[in-house]
Amino acid sequence: MQIPKQATLLRIFVGEDDRHDGRPLYEAIVMKAREAGLAGATAWRGGMGFGHSSRLRTMKIMRLSEDLPVIIEIVDARDKIDAFLPALEAMMTGGLVTLDTVEVLRYGKDAD
Amino acid sequence: MPEIVAGLLWIALGGALGGPARYFVSGLVGRRFGETFPWGTMAANVTGCLLMGALAATVSFNGMALSSPGWQIAGIGFLGSYTTVSSFSRETLALARDGQSAGAGWNIVLSFGLCLAAVALGYAAANGILS
């Protein structure tokens, strides 16, 4: 699989406690991205943040460390990302989704 | 044997109430004042110490045995799970690890200072009311 040099970065901000069909939403999104044959996906947890509710979540204060932010990043060709968006939309109940244009320098071990 | 079982049940009952009470108090205070400093945990510990002082004075004034259900529910069970040294320690560590050594120091000094003052105040107040 190859990613064009001019690719799209799909970034999805959710909460650690968000669920989809009984499993963590971030996990469901990554699995769905793989099912859709996208080039890759990475989910990582944020140490602090707030969103639509303005409720602060932070690892530093135990009581406020619930539902920490989780960001899923997927880089692929624009058309493949676009094709994935309806499936993503069906899973999201809140959160934030952004698109960026990025330049891919390398993908996979045989990138050159 | 039945006395031990009864005692454990009273402690379990108090513990079952104390944990949620702390969760409520530390959440309320944490959201309002303590988003970057652990005021929520401190509020739970200081109020717990105030109650512990008052309870200790009441128990000693009434000549209650420390094996009495009242002490087991309130002193061991409720205040045992309402107050938290582990959260205090973990949050102090989190401050220190973030390089906020002044914050970590203040958390230690204020927690111990206010907790000791609260337990003494609770004891003196309850003693004054009872006698």
For residue range A16-73, what is the model confidence (pLDDT) as tens digits? 999 999 999 999 999 999 999 999 999 999 999 998 888 889 988 888 988 999 999 9
Q: Which residues contact A101 (CB under 8 A, 6 or more apart)?
A: A6, A7, A8, A9
User: How far is it, in rounded angstroms, from Cα B87 to Cα B110?
Assistant: 15
pTM of the model: 0.78
> Is there a contact between B115 and B49 (Cβ–Cβ < 8 Å)?
yes
Asked if A63's CB is within 8 angstroms of B26's CB, the reply is yes
Identify the three-state secondary structure at position B117: helix
B128: helix, coil or strand?
Answer: helix
Q: In whole angstroms, give the CA distance from residue B26 to residue B41.
A: 5
Q: What pLDDT is recorded for position B88? A: 97
Domain boundaries, given as residue ranges, for chain A: 11-103
Q: Which CATH class is domain A11-103?
A: alpha beta
pLDDT at B73 over 90: yes
Q: With contacts defined as CB-CB under 8 Å, which chain A residues touch B19?
A: none
Residue B26 with chain A: CB contacts under 8 Å: 62-63
Residues A17-36: b if buried by 16+ CB within 10 A, e if exposed: ebebeeebbbebbbebbeeb
CA distance B13 to chain A (A): 23
Q: How big is chain A by its Cα radius of gyration, in Å?
A: 15
